[in-house]
């Protein structure tokens, strides 16, 4: 098995090398005659970072997929994203009202217009209180909603958390793979378990393998979880929090650059 994995990795690297040679030999040769160098480089970067490399990553992860229970979200490329660290129980309306009372703002849906607005505000350091979030995945789907609180009015720094709704009837299955791999979302007008991943943005960064633009985030997600809990407690919108650690959680301690204790705070919305 180890030999097969090693062979697949070498094959992927070899194919990437062939692709790079093809780009240099053919694409650059054509574009050098028709496009300015800067535009050519931007075009190749866009294709590589947002089309080619993500697909290579997804393909390799499918081949090497591990049958383990995640303690973190996943990026669109299949890499570990933000650790799961908070869950709230209540309806969608109660969740919105709770964060509004705490002074947090719901994020705009991610789209072409909101992405462009975020890019402009980021470069000009112009406030965008309801800026969109990049998409992360849990339970086989993207986040249902996200909330944020800007730091010093800057779009580059913010406290933020994404939530995925899950039926409360399944909360007792938190120590099973089926709980984390479930893709069903309960109706928004019914009480739900809102599973969240909270982190703090600190500036601009690039993704490690595909070199896409993204926010840099603070390492200590435990501190961010505690900050969000403190905000909700101060606003009087949650009850007493209890602490849970699923029986099959990965004992990672560190996911990407994150430091996480693997514990999830669970509280009921008032």
Residues 34 and 83 in one domain: no
Residues 130 and 261 in one domain: yes
Crossing angle for the helix pair 53-63 and 2-22, to the nearest 10 degrees: 170
The model's pTM is: 0.68
Residues 129 and 229 in one domain: yes
* Total structural domains within the chain: 2
Per-residue pLDDT, averaged over 1-23, amounts to 62
Residue 37: predicted pLDDT: 63
Residues 256 and 227 in one domain: yes
| Max Cα–Cα distance, the chain, nearest Å | 67
214: Cα separation from own chain's centroid: 10
pLDDT confidence bin for 150, thresholds 50/70/90: very high
Residues 168 and 49 in one domain: no
Residues 44 and 111 in one domain: no
Closest CA to 195 of 122, 143, 133, 130: 143
Per-residue pLDDT, averaged over 79-86, amounts to 86
pLDDT in tens, 113-138: 887 888 788 778 888 889 898 889 88
Residues 136 and 158 in one domain: yes
pLDDT confidence bin for 111, thresholds 50/70/90: confident
Residue 151: is its pLDDT beyond 50?
A: yes
Cβ atoms of 262 and 255 within 8 Å: the answer is no
Sequential DSSP letters for 30-56: HHHHHS-HHHHHHHHHHHIIIIIHHHH
Residue range of the domain that includes 8: 2-63
Residue 199: is its pLDDT beyond 60?
A: yes
Residues 44 and 173 in one domain: no
Helix (H), strand (E) counts: the chain: 8, 14
Residues 174 and 251 in one domain: yes
Terminal-to-terminal C-alpha distance of the chain:
52
Residues 49 and 85 in one domain: no
pLDDT in tens, 169-183: 765 565 565 666 666
Residues 216 and 140 in one domain: yes
């Amino acid at each position: 098995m180890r030999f097969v994995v090693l062979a697949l990795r070498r094959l992927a690297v070899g194919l990437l090398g062939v692709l790079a040679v093809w780009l240099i030999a053919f694409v650059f040769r054509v574009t050098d005659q028709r496009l300015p160098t800067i535009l050519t480089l931007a075009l190749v970067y866009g294709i590589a970072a947002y089309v080619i490399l993500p697909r290579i990553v997804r393909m390799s992860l499918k081949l090497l997929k591990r049958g383990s229970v995640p303690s973190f979200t996943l990026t669109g490329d299949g890499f570990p994203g933000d650790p799961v660290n908070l869950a709230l129980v209540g309806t969608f309306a109660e969740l919105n009202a709770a964060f509004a009372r705490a002074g947090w703002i719901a994020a705009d849906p991610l789209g072409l217009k909101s992405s462009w607005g975020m890019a402009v505000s980021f470069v000009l350091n112009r406030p965008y209180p309801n800026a969109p979030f990049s998409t992360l995945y849990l339970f086989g789907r993207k986040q249902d909603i996200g909330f944020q609180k800007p730091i010093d009015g800057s779009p580059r720094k913010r406290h933020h958390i994404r939530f995925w709704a899950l039926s409360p009837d399944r909360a007792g299955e938190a120590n099973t793979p089926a709980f984390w791999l479930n893709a069903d979302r309960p109706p928004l007008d019914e009480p739900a378990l809102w599973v969240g991943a909270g982190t703090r943005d600190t500036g601009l960064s690039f993704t490690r393998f595909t070199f896409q633009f993204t926010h840099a985030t603070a390492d200590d997600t435990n501190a961010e979880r505690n900050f969000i809990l403190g905000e909700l407690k101060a606003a009087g919108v949650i009850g007493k929090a209890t602490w849970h650690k699923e029986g099959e959680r990965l004992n990672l301690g560190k996911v990407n650059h994150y430091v996480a204790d693997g514990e999830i705070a669970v509280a009921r919305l008032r």
